[in-house]
Amino acid sequence: MNNPLALVGRAFLGFLAQTGRAAQFAGRAIWHSFTPPFFLRLHLAQIMRIGYYSLPVVGLTAFFTGGALALQIFIGGDRVGAEAIVPRIVVLGITRELGPVIASLMVAGRVAAAIAAEIGTMRVTEQIDALSTLSTNPFKYLIAPRLVAAILTMPVLVLVADIIGIFGGYLVAVTELDFNGAVYLQNTYDFLRTNDVVSGLVKAAVFGFIIALMGCYHGFHSRGGAQGVGTATTNAVVTASILILAANFVMTTLFFR
């Protein structure tokens, strides 16, 4: 019992078992998301909840992130040529990295938590068992709509975040740093690359998948009443956030090297 190697080994085996369970869950979730029957009404409701109602949060964070980014680059960079450097880095940073990552982290906090709490409560009050006894597959009825909605709406949210983030940078540059607005916009436009935006949107779809999957997975496996649901909610947000950052690193490596 007290052998430290045994403790490390047990923890590692536990981690592997958990990863295996999550992967199996992901496989089932994907399978049931793309095979009939589809509950279109539920899909629409989730698109509203996950996508539309996240707009204010995503918009605000993107705005302030873009503004802070412009300010930092100006302060830290060379004043000579700042007119070109600031818009260039803002547009690159927002579309490639900060737009998708910050928007996804915010949505993870909002949506993964809500999904885990809702599905977790349904689990501990036996509502998920009730679904099965009423000949309704919980994967199709509960998980597929959330998964599909998150994958579809995250890219749209990130597109909005890109626009508002760049606008935040523009506003700071023009009002605080005395940049010429027309020149700033021209520079932004010149440095805007389709690939940068598209890669960010691909990332966003993957992050959406991670967010919904972690919310559903932890909620679905929650145990033991209110405390269990609380733990599931925390775990959903933490694992979703870590996986988003890890996946971001992997995708950046794949796309840009």
Name residues whose C-beta falls within 8 Å of residue 83's C-beta, 6 or more positions apart in sequence.
Answer: 179, 180, 183, 184, 187
Indicate the residue among 135 and 253 with the shorter CB distance to another protein. 135
Residue type (1 letter), 103: A
Binding mask 135-154 for another protein (x = CB under 8 A): xxx---x-------------
* CA-to-CA separations, 108 to 90, 127, 175, 185, 245, in angstroms, rounded: 24, 24, 33, 32, 12
C-beta of 117 vs 166, nearer to another protein: 117
Please compute, for residue 37, the number of CA atoms within 13 A of its CA located in the half-sphere on the CB side.
9
First-to-last alpha carbon distance for the chain, in angstroms, is 47
Q: How far does CA 233 lie from the centroid of its chain?
A: 15
8 Å CB contact between 29 and 216: yes
Minimum gap (Å) between residue 244 Cβ and another protein: 28
| Sole binder of another protein in the list 7, 8, 44, 130 (CB under 8 A) | 130
Q: Take residue 147 and report the two structure tokens written for it.
A: 């998964």
Shortest CB 14 distance to another protein, Å: 13
Which positions from 98 through 127 interact with another protein, judged by CB under 8 A?
A: 122, 125-127
Q: Which is nearer to another protein, 67 or 219 (CB)?
A: 219
Question: The tokens of 2 are what?
Answer: 């007290």
Judged by beta carbon, residue 136 or residue 186, the one nearer another protein is: 136
Which of positions 40-79 make contact with another protein (CB under 8 A)?
none
Q: Does 25 bind another protein (CB under 8 A)?
A: no
Does 129 engage in binding with another protein (CB under 8 A)? yes
Site size toward another protein (CB under 8 A) is 14
Nearest approach, Cβ of residue 225 and another protein (Å) = 11
Q: Which of 134, 194, 253, 257 is the binder for another protein (CB under 8 A)? A: 134
Distance (Å, rounded) from C-alpha 151 to C-alpha 153? 6
Residue appearing with tokens 């078992």: 17
Distance from chain centroid for Cα 145: 16
Using CB under 8 A as the criterion, which residues of the chain lie in contact with another protein when the complex forms?
39, 122, 125-127, 129-130, 132-137, 141
